[in-house]
Amino acid sequence: MHDAIELFINYKINEEGISSLNTISAYREDFKKFLSYYPNIKNVDDLDSAYFNQFSYDQSLNGLSSSTITRSISTLKNFFI
């Protein structure tokens, strides 16, 4: 899974022209949080919208801003779905 994530991030950098180190770092942090929240997910097919909903709900309980949560979910869905 980690190799696929790095390929995704490299695609964002090379094909979409994302050059902001902050954005790239945020992508990595989004994946890190999600994968630590769901450590047993090994296959993209195991995911459905309930996983993203629960993750975003818990992130809001942890005090993350709605814009941070929205960006995170957007990144994750862009990769997983």
17-52 confidence digits (pLDDT tens): 998 999 999 999 999 999 999 998 887 788 888 999
Grade residue 66 by pLDDT with cuts at 50, 70 and 90. Answer: very high
Residues 52-62, mean pLDDT to the nearest whole number: 94
Query: Which H helix or E strand runs over 55?
Result: helix 49-61
Contacts of 51 (CB under 8 A, 6+ apart): 38, 41
Q: Identify the structural domains of the chain with CATH numbers, from first to last.
A: 2-80 (1.10.150)
Q: How confident is the model at residue 43, as a pLDDT?
A: 78
